[in-house]
A and B are shown apart, each in its own frame.
Chain A
Amino acid sequence: MVDARGLSCPQPVMMTMNEMKKLGKGEVVILVDTDTSRENVSRAAKSQGWQVKSVDSEGTGYRITIAKD
């Protein structure tokens, strides 16, 4: 779980990248609270070969689930 709420780019992307690197594969949930971060995190995940499983509104932000087998 990566909580990037309240942080602006590039922090959410850096945190997501670090988590993807650490785990190698599996599932990661990222919380963000701006549309810019939602786009950037999704784009970064795809660029690393991860799939964006779901993007759900949560509170005033989004819960992004990414995964890699």
Chain B
Amino acid sequence: MGYEMLKGLTKKLFATSPGIIGVGAFIGVFAPLLQKWGNPGNMGVCVACFERDIAGAIGLHRAAVVQYMRPEIIGFVLGALIAAYVFREFRPRTGSAPIARFVLGAFAMIGALVFLGCPWRAMLRLTGGDGNAIFGFLGLIAGIWIGTRFLKGGYDLGRVQRTYTSVGWLLPLTMIGFLVLMLLFPQVSGQNQSGVLFYSTQGPGSMHAPVIVSLIVGLAIGFLAQRSRFCTMGAFRDLILFRQIHLFSGVVALLVAAFITNLIVGQFHPGFAKQPVAHTMTLWNFGGMLLAGLAFCLAGGCPGRQLFMAGEGDGDAAVFVLGMIVGAGFSHNFGLASSPKGVGPHGIAAVIIGLLVCLFIGFTMRKRIA
């Protein structure tokens, strides 16, 4: 009885403003701290970057500087899974146009890697003083705004169906598999391969907090974010569509907490040039995130939220995640991803194609047609 009451209270708390603000602040404090403890600059817990590193770790691309099995991502999914089970919210479901979600995930990643970061990293870059992130942020909001126009016009990928519990477990099991691989084949100092896993010996992929620290912070964020439904895309979408500030207050909390944390630990370095893992091509910082923001909006969640939903049994969110990981493979294999020198040789073409694909999805997948 006491347990049930506690659960009821906790349930209510997380759905309130203090709940979402607390979770935003938690991420805002721990993301910069993870950098302090070893993660790459202004990257904290960047979902796009870290899924890209995972794609590298399992050899989907061979960009030697971005290969590492990031425990944070594993933690996000498993933390959300644990929260979903504790609060009886695990709902295995799938069947809302999975292939469209895969394509959206792939192009979301391609766009994010032209900017160099997911919405979380856009905020971490901003609060670390990286002025280039302003344009990424504006692109993100513009992309979400376009997405809301489609939503208003009847865009809808259709209803999900309940499915076997084991379907909902497939992505969490994949993450457990990744964790087992990491324990079986741990990083060997100075070597770029350990068993079947690739490990960067230099560049951002070589920079990481201790495995156990990354995993624990990841689990905590996954648990809390599942409870509060924290979503950076939803924050702007709900603000634009409904003038609702609930999710947005979480984003503001993240920004404020990250800014203060960066100031305290000496990670605030304002400027445009020579920012960590960033380039200064304004138009494509904007364009990359325009594509990513539109794809997130059409898929119903930012990359973090997709991981949390996958953890609570959403098979379509899991497909989006796999789309992002495969998209990272495409990005680095075909010169689409940017580097500190600027956009990749085919990055601009990929953004334009991605926008056309998103428009195709947005215009053709509407209720009145289905």
* A interface list, Cβ under 8 A from B: 5-11, 13-14, 17, 33-36, 39, 43-44, 47, 60
Contact = CB atoms under 8 A, between A and B. Distances in A.
B96 interface: yes
Given A13-B242, A35-B89, A43-B244, A8 B160 contact: yes
Interface in B123-161: 151, 156, 159-161
A23 to B, nearest CB: 18
Interface of B: 11, 15, 87, 89, 91, 93, 96, 151, 156, 159-162, 229, 234, 237-238, 241-242, 244, 246, 300, 314
A34 B156 contact: no
Contacts of A33: 91
B161 A47 contact: no
A10 B156 contact: no
B242 to A, nearest CB: 7
Contacts of A7: 156, 159-160
B151 A10 contact: yes
Contact of B159 (A5, A9, A47): A5
B301 to A, nearest CB: 8
Given A36-B229, A60-B162, A44 B91 contact: no
Contact of B238 (A6, A10, A39, A60): A10
A14 B162 contact: no
B244 A6 contact: no
A30 to B, nearest CB: 15
Nearest to B89: A35
Given A6-B161, A8-B314, A14-B241, 5 more contacts: A5-B159, A10-B238, A17-B242, A47-B244, A60-B91
Given A6-B160, A10-B151, A43 B246 contact: yes
